[in-house]
Structure 1
């Protein structure tokens, strides 16, 4: 098998992106041990216009989905589909729709070897613990717990001063150029584009083609 490079366009508050991440991890474990795998994450903000302090999750989603019944059905869908990938979704704890620019900045400036673990923990913090990922102190706390921040105060200052913002904006521009209108979205070896949640079997089928 050839080397595999996967570009992932995602948002840290996207439930399907979290499931997609778990699915991809499962598939990658099935590849031959000598396969060189490179995964690059690109920022895509589902809610770029959300206020800096965030907005009420329930109100935002009811407005987007069209009503209370649709909202409740979608929350149930997250729980049921997530369980198929071994994931818990405690949606009753999610109160905020945050502006995710700071979270994406954190991912951008994290050491390459820690990005995947950091992203997994950000997903867990949001969907299982209801953490406000728009809060810089919460982000720094998660970063410190995952070995990203030796100096929490310095990391906080770097984020507030905008470090990593350029990469976030670049991800948005690249997504626009590619016509991406939703995430997760994947590009494999600069050749195969996959939109939406993929099963591990889907991934393995794609990898056979590269």
Structure 2
């Protein structure tokens, strides 16, 4: 995966689009330009840091409609809106839907680069959270059903003896399962197990392997 950020520019005004692509290229970004929402949606999105500069008013589906379509697809690509009109209602709608910024044309270079910087920071944070969630899912998925029961007991604050009684197994078996479970999860204490569980709950809504 390339470390150079990719900036997608969707604008039906060819001269404006070309000017933006040149400005961003000179700033060190890789760029791709599109004249409409359909053209953008037909292209696969590479797995790399990126954001979308999106004109509000486009032929066919509007910028707001493209933003909504991306959200329906589960795409978290950060969006910076561009518009030649002072449309307050649209800007409010865009920001409520998660847009990073809403810039009026003609676009000021510093304002544009600042917005892109914030968009890319958001994208990198989302990607990092996604990788962490995938890693935690993988670790929890490696647990056997019995190790999972022991994990639940430890996180609930139960002693080995209490876990053994609840599971109907010997305490020494619980100790063995607990050691294996902690090794798989990379945890050194009950407190670390609790922290892992809370992190996965926050990232994946729940810490089951199917989350």
Same fold (TM over 0.5): no
TM-score, normalised via structure 1 length = 0.24
TM-score, normalised via structure 2 length = 0.23
Choose 1 or 2 for highest CA Rg.
Answer: 2
Asked which structure has the greater RCO (Cα within 8 Å, sep 6+), the reply is 1
